[in-house]
Homo-oligomer: A and B are copies of this chain.
Amino acid sequence: MDTQRPKNITIFDVAQASGVSYSTVSRVLNGFTFVKESTRLKVLEAAEELGYVANMQARSLAGGKSKVIGLLVPQLDNGYINEICRGIDQALVKVGYDLMLYTTHHEKDKEAKYVKAITNGLTDGLLLLVPLVPAAYIAMLREQNYPYVLIDQGDNAGESYIVDSTNWQGAYDATKHLLELGHSRIAFVSGIPELSSSRDRLEGFKAALQEYDVPFDSSLIAEGFFEAELAIEATTYLLSLNPRPSAIFASNDLSALGAMEAVRQAKLRIPEDISIIGFDDIPQASITYPKLTTIRQPLEQMGRVAVKLLLEQIEKPDLKPRRVTLATQLVVRDSVKQIA
């Protein structure tokens, strides 16, 4: 507000126009406390006429709700995060909340200060879509009794609202799918070892193997860290094995995409020479060629549920944290083929 901008019409103007005190206006605007229906209507009408729009900063400063929630993400560059954001956005629009987007850019050192700034800012709550949330975060959040929900990650303490999906089951299903199509030499491109989702996927993989009496071979595990680049390297290594694996289970679609690239670079064909299955079902999965068979995480839905859980806390601050785990689903497309 630097230069001469027209004065905003405030709750005060509305009060004047409707002939009541401005605290009454505040009351009707917030829907709280009983107000005579006639005055209520009068105020609403005046507000409408004057084109009044609430000033969220003032409201928030004064101790009300800002109707803004924060979303903390590491960065803005993959379909996975984007899909969840969409779900969040959808849910937020419905309830008339706005979104403040914070990107951490992996600056772990500044994170505590960051979270502090966010919580004492205008947001009513915080959605954490960051892998590897330092416990410090959570402790601070809990301490301040600040509403937050963890998306797709655990908190090692069971004291947070969490939304995630069936990682173990999904990995189990993926592996089983491969096994049932005759694959037995199945390589695994792992994720970020510190993440429970990664570990669960590996466990699901092992469990399926065991169930089909296929011995687990650790030389068939290569580290992909959920990244395309590293997955290319990992896959290149896996392809050099002798005998070569007949299928690769990549811990997420991003690394599956990397795996596909590596296979192409090696002049091999998918799925004729090697089958690939991913995890997530990000939008890119269905536009690659061949289209990627994968385990679908209901990403958008996770976003929506996260918002729901957050609003739940904002409205009823004393509820016990709960965890919602959504079901994954096998999506069969073209990157896996049956073998002898």
Using a CB–CB cutoff of 8 Å, the interface residues on chain A facing chain B are 1-6, 8, 51, 53-58, 60-61, 63, 66, 68, 75-77, 82, 85-86, 89, 93, 98-103, 105, 113, 116-117, 120-122, 143-146, 257, 261, 264, 283-284, 287-290, 314, 317-318
Contacts and interface: CB of A to CB of B under 8 A. Distances in A.
The 8 lowest CB-CB distance pairs between A and B, nearest first, are A289-B289, A57-B57, A53-B117, A57-B122, A8-B120, A101-B101, A99-B101, A76-B86
A103 B89 contact: yes
Contacts of A56: 57, 121-122
Contacts of A121: 55-57
Contacts of A6: 143-144
Contact of A102 (B98, B113, B318): B98
A290 B51 CA distance: 53
A10 B228 CA distance: 45
A329 B56 CA distance: 43
A283 B288 CA distance: 12
A76 B86 CA distance: 6
A100 B103 contact: no
Given A53-B116, A76-B82, A284-B284, A3 B101 contact: no
A77 B82 CA distance: 7
Nearest to A73: B89
Contact of A257 (B143, B287, B317): B287
A318 B1 CA distance: 13
A146 B53 contact: no
A183 to B, nearest CB: 22
B2 A317 contact: yes
A180 to B, nearest CB: 27
A282 B238 CA distance: 29
Nearest to A81: B82
Nearest to A88: B76
23 contacts: A1-B63, A3-B145, A3-B317, A6-B143, A8-B120, A55-B121, A57-B61, A57-B66, A57-B121, A75-B86, A75-B89, A76-B85, A77-B283, A82-B82, A93-B103, A93-B105, A98-B102, A99-B103, A100-B101, A122-B122, A287-B288, A288-B288, A289-B290
Given A57-B60, A75-B86, 16 more contacts: A3-B145, A3-B318, A4-B145, A5-B145, A5-B146, A6-B143, A8-B120, A51-B116, A54-B117, A61-B61, A68-B100, A77-B82, A99-B102, A99-B103, A284-B284, A287-B287
Nearest to A314: B2
B53 A120 contact: yes
A57 B67 CA distance: 13
Contacts of A113: 51, 53
Contacts of A290: 289
Contacts of A54: 117
Contacts of A57: 56-58, 60-61, 66, 121-122
A289 B317 contact: no
A289 B61 CA distance: 53
